[in-house]
Structure 1
Amino acid sequence: MKDKIPSLSSNSFYLGILLAVVGGFLDAYTFISRDGVFANAQTGNMVLLAVKAANRDWHGSLLYIPPILAFILGVLVSEMAKIPRVRQVLHSYRRSILILECLVLIIVGLLPQSVPNIVVTVCIAFVSSVQISTFNKIDKWAYNSTMTTGNLRTATQAAYLALKEDNDEAKKQFKEFFVIILSFLFGALTGTFSTTYIGNTSIWIASGILVIALILYHRDRGYISKYLTLR
C-alpha cells in the first residue's frame, strides 16, 4: 500500500522568511527579558566561557556550558528525525520539528520571571538548533534563520557578482537573502517592542508565527510528493 505523504521542502523561500522573523524575535526576547543574553548563537557563549575560565571564574564559566549542550542536543534531535524509520513514524519530520518548536516556546512563555535565565536560554538554544539544522537552505543556497552574519556575507557576495557580471542567478540570490535579512531585523524589532510592553508571554507571538509556518507547510507551492511503502 502506498500513502502519499506531503513534505514541505526545506528550501521554501516563504518558510525561510517566517523562520528568520522567529530567529530575530528570539534574540531580542532573550536580550531584553534575560539580562542581555543572546541564546541563538553559541559563538558568544564559547568566548564568554573562555574569558571566565581565563579569569578562574569556574562557576561563571560553567553557566555557559548548558546552552552549548542544548544546541548540540538540538542538532542530534534534528538528525535523528531524518532516520528513515523515525520518518515513517513521524510521516513528516519537518512538520514535527515545527510542532516541537511551538511547544517549547509555549512552555517558555509560561515560565515566571523568577525562573533562572539559564533555563530559558537553554530552551531557546535548543529551539534555535533544531530550526537551523532542519531548515538550512533557500532554493539551493545555504542560509541561517537564527543568525544573520553568514546571510549578510552571502548577500554582499551575490550583489557584487550581480553588478560585476550582470548574473541573473546572483541577482535572485541577493534579493532573497536581502529579504531574509530584513525579516530577521523585523523579527528583532517585533520582539523588542512586544517583550518590552507585554513581557515573558510575548514569546507566544513567535509560536504563532510557527503555527503560520505549519499552515504553509500544507499550502505552499514548495510541496513535494513523497511515497512511502507501508508494509
Structure 2
Amino acid sequence: MNWKNIQHCYIILIVYKMKGQNNIILKGSIIKLDTKGVMQRYKIKVHLNSVTSESVHLGVFLAIVGGFLDAYTFVGRGGVFANAQTGNIVLVGIEISKGDFVQALMYVPPILAFVLGVVVTEIIKKRSPLILIRDSARVILIIEIILLFIIGFLPNTVSDSFVNVVISFVSSVQICTFRKLVDSPYSTTMTTGNLRTASYEAYIAITKKNRESGIRSLRYFTIIFSFLFGAFVGGRATIYIGDKSIWIAAFILIFSLILFSIDEKICNSV
C-alpha cells in the first residue's frame, strides 16, 4: 500500500464501517474490513512519520547546528551571521543610502545563495524519487553534510565571503525542508519567530489553563535553548579549533541522518 494515501483509505474504511458494512468489493474481490487493525497501523505510521522530520529531538539537533553555524561565521568568518538574510538586506539598504553601491553589492551574494537554496529544495522535493532516495529531507541532510565537510577542507586563502555564501545556501535548504515542529511552523536557523510563538503559547497556557499551549511553548523554548547551546559550542569550538570546527556541525547532521535510517527500518517492519 502507498502510505501517502493511507489516511484517505482509512477514512473510506471508516465510512463503510459506520454504514454497517464489514466487507468491501474492490475490482471483483471481496475484502473483509479490519478497521481496528487499519487504525492501529495508521496511528503507528503517523507516529513514525513524526519521529524524524517533524520531531522535537530532530529539531533540537538542527537548532544546535543552526546556532553553531551562526557562531562559526560570526567568530571565525568576518563577524557576520550567515543564516538569516535580514541583516544583509538591511546592510544593502544602508550602503545604498551612503551612495556606496560597490559595498552594497558585497552583501548580495549571500542573499542570492539563500534564494538558490529555496529553488534547489523545491526541485529536490519533486525529484528525490529519481535519485534513488525517496525522502527529500534525507537528501537535504546529505547535501548539508557534504558542503560542511568541504568548507572544513578549504585552505585559509579562500575568502570568508565565499564560505559565508555556502553557509547561507546550507541554511536556506535546512529552513525550507524542516519547517514544522510536530504540528506548528518553526525555524531551526533563527529564533525570532520561535521566541514569539513560545511567548504567545506560554501566555495562553497561563491565562487560559491550556495544556496544549503549554506543551507547544515548552517545545519552542527547547528549540530556542538548543540554538543557544549550539551558538555556545560553535563559538568555543571556532576559537580553539578554528575553521575545521565546522566538522562538528557536520557530525551532528550525520547523527540526524541516522534517525531517518532507523525510522525507515521501523516503518518497513510495520
State the TM-score, normalized to the length of structure 1: 0.90
Gaps of 5+ in 1: 226-231
Aligned to 1:218: 261
The one of 47, 50, 54 aligned to 2:93: 50
Aligned to 1:156: 199
Aligned to 1:124: 167
Aligned to 2:187: 144
**1:82 deviation in Å?**
1.4
Confirm whether residue 87 of structure 1 aligns to residue 129 of structure 2.
yes
The one of 71, 87, 104 aligned to 1:61: 104
Q: 1:106 to 1:191 in 2, by over 3 A?
A: same
| Residues 9 and 224 in structure 1, CA contact (< 8 A), matched pair in contact too | no
State the alpha-carbon separation in 2 of the partners of residues 58 and 179 from structure 1: 41
State the alpha-carbon separation in 1 of the partners of residues 111 and 180 from structure 2: 23
State the alpha-carbon separation in 1 of the partners of residues 111 and 100 from structure 2: 18
The one of 211, 217, 232 aligned to 1:189: 232
The one of 42, 45, 59 aligned to 1:16: 59
TM-superposition CA deviations, 1:52-95 (whole Å, max 9, x none): 11111111111111100000010111111111x44343322111
State the alpha-carbon separation in 2 of the partners of residues 143 and 39 from structure 1: 18
Letter in 1 for 2:257: L
Aligned to 2:158, the other structure's residue is in SS state coil
**1:220 deviation in Å?**
4.9
Aligned to 2:222: 179
Bigger RCO (CA 8 Å, 6+ sep): 1
State the alpha-carbon separation in 2 of the partners of residues 180 and 2 from structure 1: 33
Letter in 1 for 2:124: A
The one of 70, 77, 100 aligned to 2:120: 77
State the alpha-carbon separation in 2 of the partners of residues 186 and 220 from structure 1: 26
Identity among equivalent pairs (%):
50
Confirm whether residue 107 of structure 1 aligns to residue 135 of structure 2.
no
Confirm whether residue 169 of structure 1 aligns to residue 212 of structure 2.
yes
**1:218 deviation in Å?**
2.3
Q: 1:2 to 1:150 in 2, by over 3 A?
A: closer
| Residues 112 and 200 in structure 1, CA contact (< 8 A), matched pair in contact too | no
**1:2 deviation in Å?**
7.9
Letter in 2 for 1:141: S
Letter in 1 for 2:169: F
State the alpha-carbon separation in 1 of the partners of residues 56 and 94 from structure 2: 39
Count, aligned residues: 222
State the alpha-carbon separation in 1 of the partners of residues 253 and 154 from structure 2: 19
Aligned to 1:82, the other structure's residue is in SS state helix
Confirm whether residue 32 of structure 1 aligns to residue 101 of structure 2.
no
Aligned to 1:228: none
Q: 1:2 to 1:162 in 2, by over 3 A?
A: closer
State the alpha-carbon separation in 2 of the partners of residues 190 and 115 from structure 1: 24
TM-superposition CA deviations, 1:31-60 (whole Å, max 9, x none): 011121110010000000111111111111
| Residues 117 and 173 in structure 2, CA contact (< 8 A), matched pair in contact too | yes
State the alpha-carbon separation in 1 of the partners of residues 91 and 120 from structure 2: 26
The root-mean-square deviation of aligned C-alpha atoms, in Å, is 2.2
